[in-house]
Amino acid sequence: MSPLRSSAWYAGRGRDAYIHRAWMRRGLPGSAFDGRPQIAIANTASDLTPCNSHLDEVAEHVKRGVWEAGGVPLNLPVVSLGETQLRPTAMLWRNMAAMATEEMLRGNPIDGVVLLGGCDKTIPALLMAAASVDLPAVVVPGGPMLTGTFRGVPLGCGTDVWRLSEEVRAGTLSRDDFLASESSMIRSRGHCNTMGTASTMGLLAEALGTTLPGTAGLPAADSRLLAQAHESGRLVVEMVAQDRRPRGLFTRGSFNNSIVALAAIGGSTNAVVHLLAIAGRLGVPLTLDDFDRIGSAVPLLVDLQPAGRHLMEDLHRAGGLAAVLREVIDLLDPEALTVAGRPLVETLDTARIWDREVIRSRDDPLRPHAGIAVLRGNLAPNGAIIKPAAASPHLLNHRGRAVVFDSIEDLRARIDDPALDVAADSVLVLRGCGPRGYPGMPEVSNLPLPTKLLRAGVRDMVRVCDGRMSGTAYGTVVLHVSPEAAAGGPLALVRTGDVISLDIASRRIDVEVPDEELAQRTPNEATLAGFADPHRGWERLYIDHVGQAHTGADLDFLVGRSGSEVARESH
């Protein structure tokens, strides 16, 4: 076995090794620096990331496993991103969290890392960091919360907030009843229990091979999560001994498996930007079109909100991710490995479906085709996406008059104006919400419907936006339009009254304006005023370097990996 990376800090009898050991002792025995792997626990626990606030307890169990296997566990609190609390959007900080974590892993005497995440952006940021620093790494997803109920009915985190708040606006639910449900939604520790982004990214981390098989989807309150955390601590020590690193583990086949899983579970559209960004860090050539090519014909097998009825606790009870993947095993890459060293497909042998209401069989899917559709056209030359399974069948092929909003403020000011010239067949357009324009690409693409239409019974309209959409949301929403309006995309040129055509079968999204006329248009002042222009700090750096959605919205100078080498000593 080659010398441990940490031996560059701790080995020897010189002054520098003395300093490194002495300051770390604080109760650690001398043997801690005598060739034992130093394992960081990159921990996103934070009171301001409530979905991850239990991760300190998970970390304690990881530590036990690390000690047991002969390693030295080291708690490494890293930037944490709370989806519901952070303004202007947690996505603005994903790349910063990834960069900070990468640099702390590289700069410290670390041989391997266990990544503790949960809330939406935390697992993507941790995986991006681990991919770039290329140290042996295992993910322990923090797990979903238990099902909360209100007046005898389960409440799905996120999805039911959107649904109930629309009912209030439609006048079919009182505000008092809506507010009475508030204390019932979050029943326990853990992240959102619908198939939102956190659930999706936890499950995709496992499909990608980055978790100990059988870990993702375990409810946060389930004691088996702590046992898996313990085993993950043991595993990472073994990975260090065998030099099992991300660049050797995660291949094109691993991403193929993630895309198949994304479709079969009916996962969040946010997974598209996250998987593209992680692949970019690994140097795996993944493109937007791969999601359509690999995933769009995969059947939807999981009946979870927002596409279906159940919640994550039900999915675990019904057999979990392994049972889902076993149904589509012929679509999986047989050679793609997991961190445990075996191909993913070999871990599925004993998986069974225990409740076919929650996990459907391949010959009785919830929907025959579930994946992401990638659209192109003169509105989205570099692509846009839509999740047909979350869309209304009658809108999958639609032409309508555009009603354009230049910013989220413009939308809020006018959407409920009784004088707004809008009809059920209009196409609502919101721009200025891309990575640069907002900044950070917020989850606003499922823009609210006008109250007057809600009250008339309308529950879905075609919406087009350069932002993202919560994984817990639903509707006929064309999102991630690229290039975004603030990056010179044609979305900036659409005017209220233009006709927009959406044809999902032929994968087109177009504005019916002749090319010559479109080429002569320029963004109006209100459009330009809707684009962010910060003068300092992370937001400035972000805007100057962020890529577009179709490439994963990473910063240009963070794509790829630097590895774990650090040439110079600190003193």
Binding site for ligand FES (CB under 6 A): 51, 83-84, 119-120, 157-158, 191-192, 196, 198
Please name the residues in contact with 355: beta carbons below 8 A apart, sequence gap of 6 or more: 314, 317, 318, 319
Does residue 87 contact residue 110 with C-beta atoms inside 8 Å?
A: no
Q: What is the DSSP string of 385-427?
A: EE-GGGS-GGGSEEEEEEEEESSHHHHHHHTT-TT----TT-E
Q: Name the minimum Å distance from CB 437 to ligand FES.
A: 23
Q: Name the minimum Å distance from CB 83 to ligand FES.
A: 4
Q: Between 432 and 471, name the residue whose CB sits nearer to ligand FES.
A: 471
Q: What is the DSSP string of 120-152?
A: TTHHHHHHHHHHHHT--EEEEE--BPPPEEETT
Q: Name the minimum Å distance from CB 98 to ligand FES.
A: 18
Q: Between 83 and 231, name the residue whose CB sits nearer to ligand FES.
A: 83
Q: Name the minimum Å distance from CB 308 to ligand FES.
A: 18
Q: Between 135 and 198, name the residue whose CB sits nearer to ligand FES.
A: 198
Does residue 485 contact residue 499 with C-beta atoms inside 8 Å?
A: no
Write out the two tokens for 251: 């291949």
Does residue 494 contact residue 429 with C-beta atoms inside 8 Å?
A: yes
Q: Between 110 and 192, name the residue whose CB sits nearer to ligand FES.
A: 192
Other C-beta atoms within 10 Å of 179: how many?
11
Q: Name the minimum Å distance from CB 452 to ligand FES.
A: 31
Does residue 69 contact residue 111 with C-beta atoms inside 8 Å?
A: no
Q: Name the minimum Å distance from CB 547 to ligand FES.
A: 25
Q: Between 183 and 506, name the residue whose CB sits nearer to ligand FES.
A: 183
Q: Name the minimum Å distance from CB 291 to ligand FES.
A: 22
Instruction: Kindly report the backbone phi and psi dihedral angles of residue 500, in degrees, each rounded to the nearest multiple of 5, phi listed first.
Output: -110, 135
Q: Between 80 and 256, name the residue whose CB sits nearer to ligand FES.
A: 80
Q: Between 123 and 509, name the residue whose CB sits nearer to ligand FES.
A: 123
Please name the residues in contact with 226: beta carbons below 8 A apart, sequence gap of 6 or more: 57, 58, 61
Q: Name the 3-class secondary structure at 268.
A: coil
Q: Name the minimum Å distance from CB 143 to ligand FES.
A: 11
Q: Name the minimum Å distance from CB 559 to ligand FES.
A: 26
* Strand 373-377, strand 38-43: pairing: unpaired
- From the CA atom positions of the chain, what is the Rg in Å? 24
Convert 182-217 into a string of H (helix), E (strand) and C (coil): HHHHCCCCCECCCCCHHHHHHHHHHHHCCECCCCCC
Q: What is the DSSP string of 217-232?
A: T--TT-HHHHHHHHHH
For residues 509 and 514, what is the distance between their CA atoms, to the nearest angstrom?
14
Q: Name the minimum Å distance from CB 470 to ligand FES.
A: 8
Q: Name the minimum Å distance from CB 408 to ligand FES.
A: 19
Q: Between 123 and 461, name the residue whose CB sits nearer to ligand FES.
A: 123
Q: Between 157 and 395, name the residue whose CB sits nearer to ligand FES.
A: 157
Question: Which helix H or strand E contains 565, and what residues bound it?
Answer: none
* Strand 112-117, strand 72-77: pairing: unpaired
For residues 405 and 527, what is the distance between their CA atoms, to the nearest angstrom?
8
Q: Between 145 and 511, name the residue whose CB sits nearer to ligand FES.
A: 145
For residues 493 and 489, what is the distance between their CA atoms, to the nearest angstrom?
8
Q: Name the minimum Å distance from CB 220 to ligand FES.
A: 11
Q: Between 192 and 236, name the residue whose CB sits nearer to ligand FES.
A: 192
Q: Between 158 and 267, name the residue whose CB sits nearer to ligand FES.
A: 158
Other C-beta atoms within 10 Å of 32: how many?
18
